[in-house]
Amino acid sequence: MDDFILHIKDLDATTLVAMTLLVGSGAYLVEIFLDARPLTVLFGFAFMTGALASEYYFSSQGIVVHSDPDANLLLISIGGMIVALLILMIIQKVIDVMTHKKAIVRE
């Protein structure tokens, strides 16, 4: 965990701005569909966490998706955001199933 925090601390401003803009645009699209500010903030936080975690994992393992560093950062961040979105959708569906009460139908 300390390596992850130090890696985030050592990121340059361009990387953080690119990730923030990407996450902000993704969160804005989520807000259009959900129309709920707290969920938008939650999804935005998860998107940023996913983007940072994927960037940390790929750089620590030395995995390069594209030869251009900017395109590599963009592709890795989008992949992390997609994984975070899938995890949040699964959690949301599980919570929905657990809290959904079935209607009793009487004839």
Among 16, 6, 30, 32, smallest CA distance to 82 is for 30
Q: How confident is the model at residue 103 (pLDDT cuts 50, 70, 90)?
A: low
Whole-number pLDDT of residue 105: 63
Whole-number pLDDT of residue 16: 87
Q: How confident is the model at residue 86 (pLDDT cuts 50, 70, 90)?
A: very high
Average pLDDT over residues 25-50: 88
Average pLDDT over residues 17-28: 89
Q: Residues 87-97: pLDDT tens digits?
A: 988 998 888 88
Query: Is residue 33 within 8 Å of 46, Cβ to Cβ?
Result: no
